[in-house]
Structure 1
Amino acid sequence: MQCDYYDAALCRSCTLLEQPYDDQLARKVAGARAALGEGVRWELPVASAESGFRNKAKMVVAGTVEAPTLGILDGARGVDLRGCALHTPGITAALPVLAAFVTEASLTPYDVATRRGELKHVLVTDSGTALMVRFVLRSTEALARIRKHLPPLVAELGDRTVVSVNVQPEHKAVLEGEREIVLTEAGTLRMPVGDVTLHLRPQSFFQTNTAVAGALYRDAAAWVDELAVRTAWDLYCGVGGFALHLAPGRDVLGVELSGEAVASALTSRDELGLTARFQAGDAAAFVRDVEAVPDLVVVNPPRRGLGELAGLLEASGVAHVLYSSCHVGSLGRDLRAMPSLRPVKARVYDMFPHTEHHETLVMLQR
């Protein structure tokens, strides 16, 4: 992929950009194989498009009201990355519109050095048919101006656009705050992925590569179909991607710490007419407190891995664990903590071309 920002040393986030894509993918597969060891049946990796795949833009806002930059910071200086080739066409088309909105609504970019200004980030998610736009502000001072100028923005971006304000008053490296104010009638973004449509609320997590996420969910369902699985738990279920793909014909329970994500999963479930159950709570505490285990447990933990949950699953007696990992280091550590659960099948999914990051799906069998 050609990137003028990279060539000009303005952005070096794509650390593997100088390597041919096939070499990048081979490197990721080799790392995953090393983490899992011998005796695993590997399916061919799922490659990504090299550009236009990223469905989320997390843009730092800098510069001035009249000339805002949307991109990253180089020290305290804003570097505008509106033309980043990773973004979907929908995001690429939206970013200039949003930059103009910053000027129109007089949203003063936050200055890190002086700790002055209001607008910290613009976050955009593209479902392929609609957008979600979130303005991360230091306070609600600009809220009235955003509301005033919102109708023309929604008209330009599309009437299904979801717009919200997130309030993050603290001066620290935290992307967003707890308070979210939804400004449009539509409060969720409908995200078609795999064989279902998920509803995303503003603070919901979702994979940044929709096409590869769809392949991940379809494979998970196909692998589980090969087993005699009637009951399943989806721990760290997020907005329900795995659970809803496994739900037809099965008793599935999803557990997720984020109440907002659980609400999204329930909305999707009801729209799909499925019977999966979802509850908010800590995954390790949930497993610690139950007696009977299901036929299969799905885990999709954060980068740090399972932690205490690995030992709980090892002791639980569950026959199969389907582990979706975004970090092979923590995956390898968790596998060592679950010696009775052996990896039998695995596949690499390249969610993040041009970086070291990827997803690995592993079926573990006791």
Structure 2
Amino acid sequence: MQQGSLVEIEITDLNHTGEGVGRSNGQVIFVPDTVIGDRISARILHLKRHHAEGKIQKILKESPYRIRPRCIVADKCGGCQWHHIDDNYQSQIKHYQVIETLKRIGGFSDIETSPILTGTSSLGYRNKATYPLGQSTTGNIQTGYYRRQSHHIVNLNQCPVQDPDLNPFLAEIKQDIQGRGWTIYNETTHQGQLRHLALRIGRKTKEILLTLITTDSQLSGIEEQADIWLQRYPNLVGVTLNYNPTKTNVIFGKETHTIAGRPYLREIFGGLTFHLRPETFFQVNTEAAEALLGVILEKLALDGSQRLLDAYCGVGTFTLPLAQHVFEAVGIEVQETAIQQAKENAKLNGIDNASFFTGTVETILPQIQDQFDIVILDPPRKGCDRTVLDTLLSLQPSRIVYVSCQAATLARDLKYLCQEGKYQLTFVQPADFFPQTPHVECVAFLKI
């Protein structure tokens, strides 16, 4: 096999990034835009040490799980990878991959589980979209997601996975930017003003926030344009400007200024009202996250006597709904702005038995001397720091609930917690927060 050669393979598996897996003469080949059951002709693009990377040249036989993409740029846009796979089969794959990863990496067997949770729809579910801005060779403003493995924008006027109420903004905001003469940031020269367009919507309230991320905190004419937007869009409750002058791939800067309206939207989650700001982390699939919260409440069967710690608590997304069912709830979060919002949301809902600490979990957790009955973990994709796991093994809460967006790091951390027999894995619930992509969320329950 050589780079550039053509091979005929059958796709027999999908890897963790969503690419199809086939073999030719014992050589593993990864091919995007495929699904188990496809027989294809593929051109070899890259030869790696343990695998090759290919590209479809022709589909010789379609998988029964292949469907026609419901997105007109599915073959170009890097935002989603699985528009060509049947929704039900996507869920089956994700459930299987979570359980198999726990077995392979974690060493677990006979895992008790239930069918994967889903939201109300596999399309139109995203409550937040952050689009890079660009400019075509003819000078027209563009916005959309990047092409796969590039920083070339696929220009969009609608997106089938974002809330449909956000679609009218895309074409019209581009025209307004063009008319204002605002310049677009260039990643190479680091010149220009506008970097991203961010839209956020409350799925229950339909309130919308519009944010421009810019290198220029004094964007000429922004006040007048913000007033025009508020008049044009009845559901738009606020226009904000986020200032990010740094040479970085990080989207949001540290300063956000309200130009018109208010700096937050209202959302209803778990029966509570939350104020969400443009840069606030909040699960993008509100309905699926609520379904996961329901499973947590059901499995914990809280009676009001427990003391609960929510590590990586964010704005109190899980802390506050659970606080209503326990004696005391404590949250830890590294981002100070998120803790401020968590406190505001607690006050907004009249919850007075929740307190919050700012700092890393590995720093704050060992300093808390109180004993907790339940610890909720919801770390980033890299999983928990070893210090956190060691502290939990020392504190020995009777139950641990681990919410994860990365099955491999979940399996690693659960193996460490259970290796000496102090904890047992009792139940795992996968959840599809990100239809049309290979990403999967899940929650694991441990007890002493």
- TM range, smaller chain: over 0.9
Within a 5 Å distance, the mapping from 1:115-194 to structure 2 comes to: 115-128=190-203, 129-142=206-219, 144-158=220-234, 161-194=237-270
| Structure-2 residue corresponding to 1:236 | 312
| Structure-2 residue corresponding to 1:80 | 155
Q: Deviations over 1:121-154 (max 9, x none)?
A: 0011111311111111112241x42112211111
Deviation at 1:77, TM superposition (A): 4.3
Deviation at 1:161, TM superposition (A): 1.8
Within a 5 Å distance, the mapping from 1:45-56 to structure 2 comes to: 45-48=116-119, 49-56=121-128
- Decide whether aligned partners of structure 1 residues 77 and 289 sit closer, same or farther in structure 2, where only a CA change above 3 A counts: closer
Q: 2:436 aligns with which of 350, 354, 358?
A: 354
| Structure-1 residue corresponding to 2:38 | none
What secondary structure is seen at the aligned counterpart in 2 of 1:93?
Answer: helix
Determine if contact 1:203/1:260 at 8 Å carries over to the other structure.
no
Residues 1:328 and 2:407 are matched in the alignment = yes
Within a 5 Å distance, the mapping from 1:20-31 to structure 2 comes to: 20-31=86-97
Deviation at 1:167, TM superposition (A): 1.4
Determine if contact 1:218/1:245 at 8 Å carries over to the other structure.
no
What secondary structure is seen at the aligned counterpart in 1 of 2:210?
Answer: strand
Deviation at 1:97, TM superposition (A): 3.0
Residues 1:38 and 2:38 are matched in the alignment = no
- Decide whether aligned partners of structure 1 residues 206 and 329 sit closer, same or farther in structure 2, where only a CA change above 3 A counts: same
| Structure-2 residue corresponding to 1:252 | 329
Q: Which amino acid aligns with 2:241?
A: V
Separation of aligned partners in 1, 2:337 and 2:403: 22
Determine if contact 2:309/2:376 at 8 Å carries over to the other structure.
yes
What secondary structure is seen at the aligned counterpart in 2 of 1:3?
Answer: coil
TM superposition score normalised by structure 2? 0.76
Determine if contact 2:79/2:145 at 8 Å carries over to the other structure.
no
Determine if contact 2:242/2:256 at 8 Å carries over to the other structure.
yes
What secondary structure is seen at the aligned counterpart in 1 of 2:209?
Answer: strand
Q: Which amino acid aligns with 1:322?
A: V
Deviation at 1:341, TM superposition (A): 2.2
Determine if contact 2:116/2:432 at 8 Å carries over to the other structure.
yes
Determine if contact 2:312/2:377 at 8 Å carries over to the other structure.
yes
Deviation at 1:79, TM superposition (A): 2.1
| Structure-2 residue corresponding to 1:106 | 181
Gaps of 5+ in 2: 1-68, 103-107
Q: Which has the higher helix share?
A: 1
| Structure-1 residue corresponding to 2:345 | 268
Of 316-325 and 74-83, deviating more is 74-83
Q: Deviations over 1:22-56 (max 9, x none)?
A: 22111111121123322432122112322101111
Separation of aligned partners in 2, 1:106 and 1:44: 52
Q: Which amino acid aligns with 2:400?
A: V
| Structure-1 residue corresponding to 2:380 | 302
Q: Deviations over 1:163-201 (max 9, x none)?
A: 211111123322122122122341221111232222112
Determine if contact 1:221/1:245 at 8 Å carries over to the other structure.
no
- Decide whether aligned partners of structure 1 residues 66 and 145 sit closer, same or farther in structure 2, where only a CA change above 3 A counts: farther
Deviation at 1:226, TM superposition (A): 5.3
Separation of aligned partners in 2, 1:289 and 1:39: 37
Q: Which has the higher strand share?
A: 2
What secondary structure is seen at the aligned counterpart in 2 of 1:70?
Answer: strand
| Structure-2 residue corresponding to 1:312 | 391
TM superposition score normalised by structure 1? 0.93
Deviation at 1:96, TM superposition (A): 2.5
Q: Which amino acid aligns with 2:111?
A: V
Q: Which amino acid aligns with 2:193?
A: E
Q: 1:277 aligns with which of 346, 355, 364?
A: 355
| Structure-1 residue corresponding to 2:416 | 337
Q: 2:445 aligns with which of 352, 355, 363?
A: 363
Query: Which one has a bigger Cα radius of gyration?
Result: 2
Deviation at 1:76, TM superposition (A): 5.8
Of 300-309 and 107-116, deviating more is 107-116
What secondary structure is seen at the aligned counterpart in 2 of 1:44?
Answer: coil
- Decide whether aligned partners of structure 1 residues 197 and 219 sit closer, same or farther in structure 2, where only a CA change above 3 A counts: farther
Separation of aligned partners in 2, 1:188 and 1:104: 27
Determine if contact 2:209/2:265 at 8 Å carries over to the other structure.
yes
Q: Which amino acid aligns with 1:356?
A: P
Determine if contact 1:311/1:337 at 8 Å carries over to the other structure.
no
Q: Deviations over 1:269-288 (max 9, x none)?
A: 11211122222222121211
Corresponding pairs, count: 363
Separation of aligned partners in 1, 2:209 and 2:273: 15
Q: Give percent identity, aligned residues only.
A: 23
Separation of aligned partners in 2, 1:77 and 1:313: 45
What secondary structure is seen at the aligned counterpart in 2 of 1:122?
Answer: strand
Determine if contact 1:101/1:153 at 8 Å carries over to the other structure.
no
